[in-house]
Amino acid sequence: MLHIINVAKAFKKTNGERVIAISNINLEVQRNEFVCIVGPSGCGKTTTLRLLAGLDVPTKGDILIDGKLINGPSPERCIVFQEYTLFPWRSILDNVTFALEIKKSPKGERIKKAIEYLELVGLKDYAQAYPYELSGGMQQRVAIIRALAAGPKVLLMDEPFGALDARVREFLQTELIRIWVREQKTVVFVTHSINEAVFLADRVVVMKTRPGRIHDIISIDLPRPRDKANNVFKDYYVRIHGMLKDDQDFSR
C-alpha cells in the first residue's frame, strides 16, 4: 500500500551546511499492517513520517500510496503527534467532528459517527467537556479517534504516548491495538521505545544514525495480546537493543 523508494532528505543549516537527515530509505508497508519505526534521536524517524504525511518532500526518491505519488498532505493520511493537539476552544465532540466538517458531511451523520468513536474509547460521557478538563491520556484517545473519524487509509503516529506516564502509556498501547483490530487501518508508528515497538508492531523498522537509514526490519511473530514478560518477547527486545546499543542518545 505504501512504497518508499530510494528516499533521501537533506536540510540546510543557517550557516549553509548541508545535513543529510535520511538516506536510501526503501520500505513497503502492506494494507492493514502495523509498522513501528524505532531508533535513536536524530535517526530520521520523524522526518520519514513527515514525508509519508506529505508535510515535507524528499530530496531524492519517491513515496507512493496505492501506486500514486504522495506530493502533499491528504485526508487519506492522518497524523497523531506527541503533543496534545486538540482545539482548546472546541468541545470534545466538536474536536472529533472537525475532519467531517471539512469533508462537509451532514451534521447528523458526523455527530453520530463522533459519538460512536467516543463510545469506542470510553469517553462518550465527556462529549461536551473541553480538552483542559481531560487528562493527557484521555486527550490522546480523542486525538486518535479524531484522526480515525476522518476515514484515512493510513494512520501516522509520532510518539503519541511519549509524554505519558508508564501506566497510562501501557493502557493506551493496549487500547490502540484493540482499536486497530476493529478499524483495520494501516498504521506507521514512530517510537523511541523498543518495548513499545515489540508490543505493537507486525514489523519493526530499526533505524540508525549518521545518516538516518534502515538498519534492519524485524517481523514480530507473537500472537496478540502480547505478554511483555514472555521470553520470546524479551528475545526480540534484546535483539533490537543489540542493534542500537552503539548509537548515541538511545535512552529509552
What are the phi and psi torsion angles at 247 (to 5°)?
-80, 140
Of 199, 185, 207, 215, whose CA–CA distance to 47 is shortest?
A: 207
Q: pLDDT category, 201, cuts 50, 70, 90?
A: very high
What are the phi and psi torsion angles at 13 (to 5°)?
-75, 170
Domain that holds residue 110: 85-150
Q: Looking at the structure, do residues 70 and 158 belong to the same domain, yes or no? A: yes
d(CA 172, CA 179): 10
Mean pLDDT of the region 202-220: 94
pLDDT value for 248: 55
Q: pTM score, two decimals?
A: 0.92
The 10s digit of each residue's pLDDT in 11-49 is: 887 887 888 999 999 999 999 999 999 999 889 999 999
Single residue among 150, 168, 191 that ends a domain in this structure? 150
Mean pLDDT of the region 183-212: 94
As for how many domains the chain has, the answer is 2
Q: Looking at the structure, do residues 72 and 120 belong to the same domain, yes or no? A: no
Of 190, 85, 200, whose CA–CA distance to 146 is shortest?
A: 85
Single residue among 97, 130, 150 that ends a domain in this structure? 150
Residue 80: strand, helix, or coil? strand
**Position 200 in a domain:** yes
What is the sign of the dihedral through the CA atoms of 145, 146, 152 and 155?
A: negative
Residue 222: strand, helix, or coil? coil
Q: What is the CATH number of the domain that holds 179?
A: 3.40.50.300
Q: Looking at the structure, do residues 89 and 175 belong to the same domain, yes or no? A: no
For residue 57, pLDDT over 70 is answered with yes
Residue 81: strand, helix, or coil? coil
pLDDT value for 252: 40
Q: Looking at the structure, do residues 64 and 96 belong to the same domain, yes or no? A: no
The 10s digit of each residue's pLDDT in 155-177 is: 999 999 988 889 999 999 999 99
Q: Looking at the structure, do residues 54 and 165 belong to the same domain, yes or no? A: yes
Mean pLDDT of the region 230-236: 97
Mean pLDDT of the region 167-194: 93
d(CA 180, CA 184): 6
Contact between 79 and 49 under an 8 Å Cβ cutoff? The reply is: yes
Q: Looking at the structure, do residues 71 and 8 belong to the same domain, yes or no? A: yes
Q: Looking at the structure, do residues 12 and 60 belong to the same domain, yes or no? A: yes
Q: Looking at the structure, do residues 125 and 6 belong to the same domain, yes or no? A: no
* Average pLDDT of the chain to the nearest whole number: 92
Q: Which of 61-65, 84-88, 131-135 has the lowest mean pLDDT?
A: 84-88
For residue 192, pLDDT over 60 is answered with yes
d(CA 212, CA 142): 32
**Position 207 in a domain:** yes
pLDDT value for 251: 41
Q: Looking at the structure, do residues 38 and 137 belong to the same domain, yes or no? A: no
The 10s digit of each residue's pLDDT in 66-93 is: 999 999 999 899 999 888 789 999 999 9
Residue 200: strand, helix, or coil? helix
Q: Looking at the structure, do residues 169 and 213 belong to the same domain, yes or no? A: yes
